[in-house]
C-alpha cells in the first residue's frame, strides 16, 4: 500500500507552537518550523529533546539533553531552539524537578548549537550559562553579550571541572581549541557520574538503520532522496522511507560517496523537464543523483552495526590537525566509567563503554587501518587537499605511533 505525497508541506500542528523566530541566523531546513520530541532516558533523571535540521533535505536530528541535579533543579546540555512546544516540555520538568540552574554550550564552532543558547537562556533568567573556552565569531570576533549571551550570568567553563558548582555530579574534558586558521574547533564532553552517562556534541555519532522518530515527523526529505531518478513520483512507502534515510546518512557523512554518480548537466535538465515533481519544494524537478546498485553496501560499512563513529568530515578535515591533543582528550574521557553515550546527532542512547569510545578514534594512530573505505572518503580527502595545499587550513599532522 502506498500513497503519493503532495508537493506542498503538510504540517499537522498549530504553526505558532513550532515557530523558531531566529531561524534566519542559521538558515537551514526546516527553517522557521521546529518540532520537538522529548524522551525520558532514565526515569526522573535524564531526558533528551530532539529537533530536525538539514541542508537540501539532508536532515538529521539535533539534540538537547537535560539532567536532574541531586539537590534539585536541572542542567541543560546543548540547547535546541526554544519554540513554544519545546519550552512547554521543559516547563513540565521544571514543575516536577526544579528550575533550570545551568545551561551548557559545549562547542565553540557549532553554529547550530551556539545560536540557540541566548534565546533559550532568556527564557530561564535564573540559570547560569557556561560556555566552552575560546568562543569566536565570524567575520568579526564579537563579545559574547553582543552575540546574545546574557551579560552577568555567562561564564567560561574552567579548565578544571572541580571549580564548578556542579562538580560533585559531573566531570568534563575540554578538547581545547584546534586551530584551523579559518576558525577553531573545540568540544566539551560531560560525564554524569550517577547515571554513568557520557554526553558529547559532534565528536561521535552512531547511525541508526532506520529513520529516528523526529525525522519521520517530516517525511518529504526521506521520500525526495528515495527516488532513482527525477521522473519517479514522490511516493510514501516503508521501503522508500528506509531508502531515503540511508541515502541521507551517506550525504551527511561523505557529501559524495563512491556509490553516487553525478549525471551530466544536460541529462539533469532533460530529466527535470520530464519530471512530474515540478515545484519550488522539489527544486523544479532537478535531481542530479545517480545511485549505483551497491549503494547500500556503502551505508552498511558506514553504519558498522551502529558502532560509535567519528564523522568522516572530522576525521579528514579537523581532528587530524591535532592528533596528539585529540588522543589526550580521548584518553581522559575513556578513563571514566560510563556505559551509555548521548551524542547531539543521530542515535541516542548508544550503549557503549570506554573501550568502544577509544576505538572510534583509532584512525588517529598510525598502526591502525582506516575503518571507512578509502573510496568513500575520496571527496573529503580532495577537499582537504584543496584547502591545505594553498595554506587555507593547516596540513594534517603526523599520527601518534
The answer to whether position 377 is within a domain reads no
Which pLDDT score, from 0 to 100, does residue 367 have? 56
Question: 237 and 325, same structural domain?
Answer: no
Question: 321 and 232, same structural domain?
Answer: no
Question: 332 and 237, same structural domain?
Answer: no
Question: 146 and 32, same structural domain?
Answer: yes
Question: 152 and 64, same structural domain?
Answer: yes
CA distance 15 to 19: 6
Which pLDDT score, from 0 to 100, does residue 171 have? 98
Q: Which residues pair with 290 in a beta bridge?
A: 261
Question: 335 and 283, same structural domain?
Answer: no
Tell me, what CATH number does 68's domain have?
Answer: 3.60.15.10
Range of the domain at 247: 215-305
**Residue 127 grid cell:** 540559570
CA distance 23 to 29: 9
The answer to whether position 387 is within a domain reads no
Which pLDDT score, from 0 to 100, does residue 7 have? 36
Q: Which residues contact 318 (CB under 8 A, 6 or more apart)?
A: 178, 180, 185
Number of domains in the chain: 2
Which pLDDT score, from 0 to 100, does residue 143 have? 76
CA angle at residue 168 from 167 to 174, to 5 degrees? 30
Question: 178 and 262, same structural domain?
Answer: no
Give me the phi and psi of 69, to 5 degrees please. Answer: -85, 150
Instruction: Please give the average pLDDT of every successive group of 10 residues along the chain, which has 401 residues.
Output: 39 72 90 95 97 95 97 96 97 97 92 90 96 81 80 94 96 89 89 98 96 95 96 95 98 95 93 91 94 96 95 93 94 97 95 96 74 90 88 76 49
**Residue 116 grid cell:** 540557540
Amino acid at each position: 500500500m502506498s500513497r503519493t505525497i503532495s508537493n506542498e508541506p503538510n504540517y499537522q500542528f498549530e504553526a505558532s507552537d513550532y515557530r523558531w523566530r531566529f531561524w534566519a541566523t542559521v538558515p537551514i531546513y526546516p527553517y522557521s518550523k521546529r518540532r520537538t520530541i522529548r524522551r525520558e532516558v532514565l526515569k526522573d533523571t535524564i531526558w533528551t529533546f530532539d529537533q530536525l535540521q538539514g541542508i537540501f533535505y539532508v536532515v538529521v536530528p539535533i539534540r538537547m539533553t537535560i539532567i536532574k541535579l541531586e539537590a534539585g533543579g536541572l542542567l541543560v546540555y546543548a540547547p535546541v531552539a526554544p519554540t513554544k512546544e519545546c519550552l512547554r516540555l521543559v516547563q513540565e520538568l521544571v514543575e516536577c524537578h526544579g528550575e533550570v540552574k545551568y545551561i551548557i554550550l559545549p562547542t565553540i564552532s557549532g553554529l547550530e548549537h551556539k545560536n540557540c543558547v541566548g534565546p533559550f537562556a532568556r527564557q530561564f533568567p535564573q540559570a547560569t550559562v557556561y560556555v566552552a573556552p575560546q568562543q569566536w565569531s565570524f567575520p568579526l570576533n564579537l563579545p559574547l553579550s553582543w552575540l546574545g549571551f546574557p551579560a552577568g550570568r555567562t561564564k567560561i567553563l574552567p579548565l578544571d571541572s572541580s571549580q564548578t558548582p556542579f562538580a560533585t555530579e559531573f566531570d568534563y574534558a575540554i578538547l581545547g581549541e584546534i586551530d584551523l586558521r579559518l576558525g577553531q574547533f573545540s568540544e566539551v564532553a560531560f560525564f554524569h557520574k550517577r547515571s554513568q552517562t557520557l554526553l558529547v556534541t559532534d565528536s561521535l555519532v552512531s547511525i541508526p538503520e532506520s529513520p529516528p522518530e523526529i525525522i519521520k515527523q517530516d517525511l518529504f526529505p526521506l521520500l525526495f532522496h528515495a527516488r532513482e531518478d527525477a521522473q519517479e513520483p514522490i511516493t510514501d512507502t516503508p521501503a522508500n522511507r528506509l531508502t531515503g534515510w540511508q541515502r541521507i546518512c551517506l550525504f551527511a557523512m561523505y557529501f559524495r560517496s563512491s556509490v553516487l554518480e553525478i549525471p551530466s548537466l544536460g541529462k539533469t535538465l532533460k530529466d527535470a523537464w520530464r519530471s512530474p515533481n515540478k515545484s519550488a519544494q522539489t527544486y523544479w524537478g532537478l535531481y542530479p543523483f545517480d545511485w549505483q546498485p551497491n549503494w547500500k553496501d556503502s551505508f552498511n560499512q558506514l553504519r558498522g552495526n551502529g558502532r560509535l563513529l567519528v564523522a568522516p568530515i572530522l576525521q579528514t578535515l579537523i581532528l587530524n590537525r591535532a592528533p596528539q591533543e585529540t588522543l589526550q582528550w580521548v584518553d581522559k574521557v575513556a578513563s571514566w566509567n560510563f556505559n551509555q553515550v548521548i551524542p547531539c546527532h543521530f542515535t541516542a542512547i548508544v550503549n557503549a563503554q570506554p573501550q568502544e569510545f577509544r576505538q572510534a578514534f583509532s584512525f588517529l594512530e598510525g598502526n591502525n587501518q582506516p575503518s571507512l573505505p578509502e573510496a568513500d572518503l575520496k571527496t573529503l580527502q580532495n577537499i582537504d587537499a584543496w584547502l591545505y595545499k594553498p595554506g587555507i587550513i593547516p596540513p594534517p599532522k603526523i599520527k601518534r605511533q
